[in-house]
Amino acid sequence: MNQYYSFMESMEQARSRMQYDQAIEVSLKAIEEIPQLVRDTVREYGQWDIKSLPPLEFACNYLPVMCRHDDLQHIREIIQSLPKLAYWHDEVDLAIKRVKIMDKIKTLVFTNPGFIQANVGKELGVENRIISNMFYYAVKFGVIHREKEAKSYRLYSSKDLCPKCLESLSQPDY
């Protein structure tokens, strides 16, 4: 049980420093420890009533944006092996579905730099609330850059630079 909490603490420290790649790797190590955490908790307290698992929550937001399907499949196997974690089945399955959506978003934005965010849901046939949540994390994790455009945003992949970014690069640093 101690390893889980140690990994979780390391994950939180990396997140606070915005070192998301490091945070996800430590998060995945913590997730590997969840079966032992469940066994130890049930042995010590007679039941499993923990609903919040920060490494799992972080992974379900980060991995879809990074299109890391294999890692999510592995997490799914861990969760399905433990009946006490049935609460998490839907969340992990949704994260797996979001990988496919994110792949479509990345393709759309890469092939159409400056595409308007408000039009993405309609273009891909996906609900705007799902798209909005995914863009929050895609921007936070540096996968997509946004530039304000009226009531929406122009979208650019991390491989493209938005016009404002290019402009700031051409400005001398005084």
| pLDDT tens-digit readout, 76-96 | 999 999 999 998 999 999 999
Task: Name the amino acid, one letter, at 72.
Answer: L
Question: Partners of 153 in the beta sheet?
Answer: 148
Q: Which two tokens stand for residue 85?
A: 């974690």
Q: Which two tokens stand for residue 141?
A: 């994790």
| pLDDT tens-digit readout, 2-59 | 799 999 999 999 999 999 999 999 999 999 999 999 999 999 999 999 989 999 999 9
34-37's contacts with Cβ under 8 Å and 24+ in sequence apart are 34/4, 34/78, 34/82, 34/85, 35/78, 35/81, 35/82, 36/1, 36/3, 36/4, 37/1, 37/4
| pLDDT tens-digit readout, 38-53 | 999 999 999 999 989 9
CB atoms within 10 A of CB 2: 10
